[in-house]
């Protein structure tokens, strides 16, 4: 088994807009040209809103 220093496999993520593989830390998606940090932030916000809505729904159901 040989270890080659500096040859770490690149981490890949999925573009939040087009779902193509992009390198982790990429700022501009090479496939759709989307700004990855902004898209990730928007997705986080949407998930947080969905969780908030779910919690309010669960609270409303618990009261009935």
Binding site for Zn ion (CB under 5 A): 15, 17-18, 29, 31-32, 34
State the nearest-atom distance from the C-beta of 33 to Zn ion, in Å.
7
24 Rama sector, left if φ>0, alpha if ψ -120 to 50, beta otherwise: beta
Q: Which is nearer to Zn ion, 23 or 49 (CB)?
A: 23
State the nearest-atom distance from the C-beta of 10 to Zn ion, in Å.
17
d(CA 18, CA 20): 5
d(CA 42, CA 48): 10
Coil, strand or helix at 12 = strand
Q: Which is nearer to Zn ion, 24 or 59 (CB)?
A: 24
Q: Which is nearer to Zn ion, 31 or 43 (CB)?
A: 31
């Amino acid at each position: 088994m040989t270890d080659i220093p500096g040859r770490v496999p690149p981490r890949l993520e999925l573009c939040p807009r087009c779902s193509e593989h992009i390198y982790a830390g990429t700022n501009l998606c090479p496939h759709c040209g989307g700004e990855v940090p902004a898209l990730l932030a928007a997705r986080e916000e949407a998930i947080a809103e969905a969780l908030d809505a779910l919690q309010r729904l669960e609270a409303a159901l618990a009261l009935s």
